[in-house]
Amino acid sequence: MRNIKLVIQYDGTNYSGWQIQPNRRTIQGSLEDALLKITKIQTRVIGAGRTDAKVHALAQVANFKTESAIPAEKFVSALNSVLPPDIRVIEASEEDENFHARFSARGKIYRYYVYSGKYLNVFWRNYVYYYPYPLDLDLMLEAAKFLEGTHDFRGLAAANSSTKNFIRTLKSVELKKEGEKLSLQFIGNGFLYNMVRITVGTLLEIGRKKIKPTVIKEIIETGNRSLAGPTVPAHGLFLVKVLYDDLL
């Protein structure tokens, strides 16, 4: 069996997330439907990250096994010709049999957008979290430093019965302000359920001076989720890249 890797971009607005579910529009389901149309065979597509409803991807990675004779790079135009316009395959390549989109991944880059202007630009409404409050960026940067490194992040994650190991490494947390748009970018070897959205929610409360930057340190040390901020909405979140080389 050939093993095909896809790099996929999607606007998550009108989807119930990556993972296939009956009677729901999902990214995985749409890709499998498209593959069925092209190869005439039902094929499982494995994604690197199971993004939630309304979360977007600039470059999600997936793979599938096939006996189709279609040249790897032809899957780009073939799949795009049958996919809805809010999902695009941007690269396709043939990998060796051991490549697995999820298990082979060494890390991921996520980015979250926050906007604080007088009104929310209509063209950004599905892609940024509108949070019209003054934010002290220095306090947020101070807090972000406590996140970097290898820690037990259970206090910054939502409950997920299947997870037993809460140790993750965040290589960097970068905050960038362009006008009234703020981006928070996280590079890590893995992310717990809702970890980016809870961490952003906590950093925003720090920026608003509701809680102190050292609360991040306390959450990491105690694992106490009740000290953290709220989970910010999914639509501000982007899976930017999946990394297959060593992170550190």
Residues noted as catalytic: 52
In sequence order, what are the residues at sequence separation of 6 or more whose Cβ sits closer than 8 angstroms to the Cβ of residue 239? 49, 51, 55, 56, 57, 58, 59, 60, 108, 109, 110
Tally Cβ neighbours within 10 Å of residue 79.
Answer: 22
**Binding flag, residue 103, its own copies (CB under 8 A):** no
Q: Which is nearer to its own copies, 111 or 168 (CB)?
A: 111
Could you tell me the smallest distance in angstroms from the CB atom of residue 8 to its own copies?
Answer: 9
Query: Of 41, 90, 137, 158, which lies in the binding site for its own copies, with binding defined by CB under 8 A?
Result: 90
Q: Which is nearer to its own copies, 103 or 123 (CB)?
A: 123
Query: Of 22, 42, 69, 123, which lies in the binding site for its own copies, with binding defined by CB under 8 A?
Result: 123
Are 114 and 128 in contact by the 8 Å Cβ rule? The answer is: yes
**Binding flag, residue 87, its own copies (CB under 8 A):** yes
Q: Which is nearer to its own copies, 25 or 88 (CB)?
A: 88
The DSSP line for 123-153 is GGTTTSEE--S---HHHHHHHHHHHSEEEE-
Q: Which range of residues in 80-88, 100-108, 170-178, 202-210 is near its own copies by CB under 8 A?
A: 80-88
**Binding flag, residue 231, its own copies (CB under 8 A):** no
Q: Which has the closest alpha carbon to 61: 109, 7, 3, 4?
A: 7
Query: Of 22, 23, 42, 118, which lies in the binding site for its own copies, with binding defined by CB under 8 A?
Result: 118
Q: Which range of residues in 3-11, 102-110, 160-168, 187-195 is near its own copies by CB under 8 A?
A: 3-11
Strand (E) positions, the chain? 2-10, 46-47, 56-66, 87-95, 107-115, 129-130, 149-152, 167-178, 181-188, 237-243
**Binding flag, residue 179, its own copies (CB under 8 A):** no
Q: Which of residues 18-77 bind its own copies (CB under 8 A)?
A: 56, 76
Both tokens of residue 122? 């209509």
Q: Tokens 């597509």, residue?
A: 45
Q: Which is nearer to its own copies, 89 or 211 (CB)?
A: 89
Could you tell me the smallest distance in angstroms from the CB atom of residue 53 to its own copies?
Answer: 16
**Binding flag, residue 125, its own copies (CB under 8 A):** yes
In sequence order, what are the residues at sequence separation of 6 or more whose Cβ sits closer than 8 angstroms to the Cβ of residue 53? 12, 15, 16, 17, 234
